[in-house]
Amino acid sequence: MAVETLATLPATAPLLARAAVTARGRRGSEVPQRTLRVEDVRVDRGRLAAYQRLTGYDVSDTVPQPYPWVLAFPLQTALMTRPDFPLALPGLVHLENRVTTHRPLDASEPLTFDVTAGDLRPHRRGRTLDVRLEARVDDELVWTCDSVYLSRGRGDEDAPRGDAPPQAPDGPAVAVWRLPDGLGREYAGVSGDVNPIHLHPLAARAMGFRRHIAHGMWTYARTLAALGRTSLGPSTSRVWFTKPVFLPSTVELVVGRAPGATTAALRSRRDPPTTHLVLTLEA
């Protein structure tokens, strides 16, 4: 596997603009065997604090479990917008994440990130792609994330099915959150993820959505934050993004707990059978 080290994290907005311009004509079944790396990534404590406030974490120097994904998002975007990458980034659907924090991370620690894409796999609604992110402090592996993305298209009904999410917990909601119309723009400001489907209803409709939608990584972080400090590490969480959350809307959090494991779900307040996210947390 070839490793290419970048001098610094690239800017996300130009990459997303390039992805939109070059989306048409991408094809193929081979993912380049390439790892992109960036070293000495520093946490901006002001941006971290803004992220923590928006996602419900206590403001501190301990890095929330989803935050390294936010830091590495430009690197992942750079990998997926290379000319030889076979999938168009616009329209990719984020299906799930599995994240492990091997130990608590402090904002003072410089991080080295690696991102690698796996093979394309058939899916009943198109093709899926795995993307692996790793974070190190010096030579110590401190954090890993495996994401699954769907490229929609001609599917294969006989394709192997991935792991289904667990059943959402029953019972009354433990929290109710009203998500405002501008949540996507607020989260874009603290995360750098300026995908248009999250910012304005007209932009979202151009991408096939009836309204703009909340970032899945915001719903994931907000749910983890509500479960307490367990996810700060060492721990592993797995999240399935099952239905988009249109903005504005109201969602409910339901939680089931067992020794060593917690299951949580976000569901629609108006239509409780509609589940937006299911998450497990083990520590």
Q: Closest by alpha carbon to 246, among 188, 204, 281?
A: 204
pLDDT class of 158 with cuts at 50, 70, 90? low
Q: Which helix (H) or strand (E) holds 19?
A: helix 12-21
What's the average model confidence in pLDDT over 226-243? 96
Percent of the chain with pLDDT over 90: 72
Determine the pLDDT at residue 260: 85
pLDDT in tens, 131-147: 999 999 999 999 999 99
pLDDT in tens, 93-127: 899 999 999 999 999 999 999 999 998 888 788 89
Domain definitions of the chain by residue range: 2-282
From the number of C-beta atoms within 10 Å of its C-beta (0-12, 13-18, 19+), residue 3 rates as exposed
Q: Is the pLDDT of residue 161 over 70?
A: yes
Q: Compute how many other C-beta atoms are within 10 angstroms of the C-beta atom of residue 52.
A: 20
What's the average model confidence in pLDDT over 172-176? 97
What's the average model confidence in pLDDT over 168-187? 96
Determine the pLDDT at residue 15: 87
pTM of the model: 0.94
Q: Can you tell me whether residue 26 is helix, strand or coil? A: coil
Running DSSP on this structure, what letter comes out for residue 142?
E
Q: Is the pLDDT of residue 25 over 80?
A: no
Q: How far is CA 54 from CA 74, 94, 100, 274, in A?
A: 20, 21, 22, 24
pLDDT class of 72 with cuts at 50, 70, 90? very high
Q: Compute how many other C-beta atoms are within 10 angstroms of the C-beta atom of residue 41.
A: 18
pLDDT class of 241 with cuts at 50, 70, 90? very high
The domain 2-282 belongs to what CATH superfamily? Hotdog Thioesterase (3.10.129.10)
Calpha distance 158→240 (Å, rounded): 21
Calpha distance 15→21 (Å, rounded): 10
Lowest mean pLDDT among 25-29, 119-123, 212-216: 25-29
Calpha distance 154→138 (Å, rounded): 44
Query: Mean pLDDT: which of 8-12, 17-21, 87-91, 248-252 is highest?
Result: 248-252
Q: Is the pLDDT of residue 250 over 90?
A: yes
